[in-house]
Amino acid sequence: MKRLLSIVFPLLLTLSTTLLADQPLLFLSTQFVPVDEARKMREEVLGGYSGTVNFQPFDERNTFMVLAKPGGKQRPALLGALHGDMKSLAQQGLLAPLQNRPSDIRLIDSYLKLGRFNSGNQYYLPWIQATYIMAANRRALKYLPRGLISTA
């Protein structure tokens, strides 16, 4: 995850600061909400950025969707959210297409495709990926799909 963040954040911060000049950067996110994760985001990931970033995590998606709409005191420059949230914002016309993505940043094409919403424009860049772990009683394993079980 740290490698992905180190690739994507400089790009996003560059794109955003181009639009905002000397204003603080407002970054709303439905991710990294727990206190320790938010602290690590502010200190470790965003700490090397030379500008001012106001990272605001939200654990309530409806609040996030309201705050992400234009018309507030400060319009967010960066949004960190799930694909479904981004899709909803794009359908409402609240996301602008990203432009001038540096060519030296390489991301997986299938991930980039997600952020295009079947259009020619890139509306967001995937920035984190979750890994899920499942635990089950051995007696329940026979009900799982074939090939899913790993004995490692």
How far is Cα 85 from Cα 103, in angstroms, rounded to an integer?
27
- pLDDT the model gives residue 149: 62
pLDDT tens digit string along 19-39? 555 677 888 888 888 999 999
How far is Cα 16 from Cα 27, in angstroms, rounded to an integer?
10
How far is Cα 123 from Cα 85, in angstroms, rounded to an integer?
12
| Domain extent listing, the chain | 2-143
CATH match for 2-143 among 1.10.3470, 2.40.128, 2.30.29, 3.40.190: 3.40.190
Fill in the amino acid letter for 80: G
CB 29 within 8 A of CB 81: yes
- pLDDT the model gives residue 38: 92
- pLDDT the model gives residue 152: 47
Residues of the chain with pLDDT under 70: 1-22, 61-74, 101-103, 105, 149-152
The closest alpha carbon to 77, from 9, 128, 2, 7, belongs to 9
For residue 142, the Cα-to-chain-centroid distance in whole angstroms is 36
Is this structure's pTM higher than 0.85? no
Helices (H), the chain: 2-20, 35-40, 61-67, 83-91, 109-114
